[in-house]
Structure 1
């Protein structure tokens, strides 16, 4: 892990094999946690199927796909089965008309409409980090190759391990890399605030295809710095707001929700459709997918402190 000597390696995955001690898969379309379309009207259904995520030649491959036939039927059945489990958990009795009605209410308009699958993995409850007295700056980076395609929305990002300042966006979000469709630009963004999203972002216009690129954020209590291929392209300082990063519910702490002890975990995913790519039609997405595999290939993820 070659790095300047003043940076201390804290965590890494080189993806020589799948490591369930480091990562876990997320599943579904978000409805199972009350966030249908993952809050952005996305169209994908996340799975842990090797068709959507796998290790190949030392890389993590996340692939978004259109499903059909038996593969589509299997994913749709997973959706219906989850509805059944949820209804039983809510107190409906197996075999009763009431349970049947609950399942139909849960799945109609969702389960039969599943057309695209993908993968989303994270280190939630496994690894999280924040600036500290020992390491005042945290560096998080990944080397990733992206495939252009209509409606694709790859992301390398971070969410709070504990939402101690309240629901999103109060407890924060750090987007290290987001791009979409033709992959002609990179966005780095932070989200914070009270009941409304107070977001600040920076963008660099550059074609990301073909080939690998290194996406990085350097995070301190006072500043976020975004890099593409080791070149700084954006800086956001908390002094730009007279309350700093301040999120409602934080008792006025100017570093919240990105301060010492505000631990965030890592995520990698490839979303399909929704707001960020401009709500492309399902048919246009499917046509693009038919042209060839749509993948997010990750060589490594590394975390350092200084």
Structure 2
């Protein structure tokens, strides 16, 4: 989910200071200062995957393989481990994000997009009033993650049931500020009108709002509908690769240009359900059908 933040780092830090988002910035000052990796051939990929409805993640096998769990939220009690985004967003999305669109139901985070007219801040960083015709929800983890010398592998896991409906844009991803100098990794993005598909991606740049990564989208087509039951989406972030797993099986490994530049960067996991936006082509707002994104849990493991 590509961001186009303007003076994001300074504005975000200011807002955090005054308690609007209560998020601590943790910029990594020890990241490698080596020059960017030389570009290699960059191509989008497309793969078919076998899904298992209501797949059960084997945590014991992961820890037996040398991973240590460092974060977990089963959404049993509250959202205290997350910052709640309030305001509009970027990418020409149509929704206003607010806490009211997120509920904890049967140990699930339920993010629901609704068709309703509200007026609120253009973004959390721009208080200019704007009228929105849709509302939804977005949360960002207070615990940062980083594949680095200290933890060379980070494994991020979530069990999710995707929303159906034209114009729904569920996303499970991580990023740091100022975008994209700390990178962005998209573990899962999907279109509600394409219930058998999702995609992955990543971004990186040396300067604010200047992405250098091109054509690194991974298109995964499942043999089962992703909106009717739960599936487990994983990303293993290491120095030279981004490996995606779907229901326990590796479906893609990215080793393209700039992947090594993500090593040592600091990011925060984000979950949101956008409505419309640049993710879609030939988009017709008249066809929007709202839905809900269900998140059973988020877990993070690290390994040396």
What's the TM-score, normalizing by structure 2? 0.72
CA contact (8 A) 2:87 2:121 kept: yes
Give SS of 2:72's match.
Answer: strand
- Alpha-carbon distance in structure 1 between the residues aligned to 2:70 and 2:113: 31
* Structure 1 or 2: more strand by fraction: 2
Unaligned runs of 5+ in 2: 1-57
Asked whether the equivalents of residues 182 and 267 of structure 2 are also in contact (C-alpha less than 8 Å), the reply is no
Structure 1, unaligned runs of 5 or more: 31-37, 87-105, 246-254
- After TM superposition, list the pairs within 5 Å mapping 1:73-92 onto structure 2: 75-76=118-119, 78-79=120-121, 86=127
- For residue 204 of structure 1, what is the aligned residue in structure 2? 220
CA deviation profile, 1:10-44 (whole Å, cap 9, x unmatched): 10101111131x101101113xxxxxxx1x11101
Q: Match for residue 26 of structure 1?
A: 85
Q: Which residue of 1 aligns with 2:6?
A: none
Is the 1:273–1:279 Cα contact (8 Å) retained in structure 2? no
Q: Relative to 1, partners in 2 of residues 1:148 and 1:141: Cα closer, same or farther, differing over 3 Å?
A: same
Q: Which residue of 1 aligns with 2:196?
A: 184
- Number of paired residues? 235
Mapped to 1, the partners of 2:173 and 2:229 lie a distance apart of 20
Please tell me whether the aligned partners of residues 205 and 212 of structure 2 are also in contact (alpha carbons under 8 angstroms).
yes
Q: Of Structure 1 and Structure 2, which has the larger fraction of its residues in helix?
A: 1
**Partner of residue 267 from structure 2, selected from 260, 264, 268:** 264
Larger radius of gyration: 1
Match of 1:229 among 239, 247, 250: 247
Q: Is the 8 A contact 1:152 1:277 kept in 2?
A: no
Aligned equivalents of 1:171 and 1:263: distance in 2?
6
* Matches of 1:133 and 1:197, distance apart in 2: 24
Deviations 1:115-148 (A, max 9, x none): 100000001xx21011233432110010000121
* 1:45–1:117 Cα contact (<8 Å) kept: yes
1:237-256 equivalences under 5 Å are: 237=255, 240-241=256-257, 244-245=258-259, 255-256=260-261
Query: CA–CA distance in 2 between the matches of 1:204 and 1:159?
Result: 21
Aligned residue number for residue 277 of structure 1: 280
State how far apart, in whole Å, the 2-side matches of 1:184 and 1:8 are: 32
Post-superposition shift, 1:184? 2.2
Q: Residue 11 in 1 paired to residue 71 in 2?
A: yes
RMSD: 2.2
Please list the CA deviations of residues 132-178 of structure 1 after superposition, one character each: whole Å capped at 9, or x if unmatched: 33432110010000121010000000011xx3xxx433331100100
Q: CA deviation at 1:259?
A: 1.1
User: In the superposition, relative to structure 1, how do residues 196 and 14 fare at CA in structure 2: closer, same or farther (>3 Å)?
Assistant: closer
Q: Which moved more, 1:193-202 or 1:58-67?
A: 193-202
The separation in 2 between residues aligned to 1:213 and 1:28, in whole angstroms, is: 29
The question of 1:303 aligning with 2:300 is answered yes
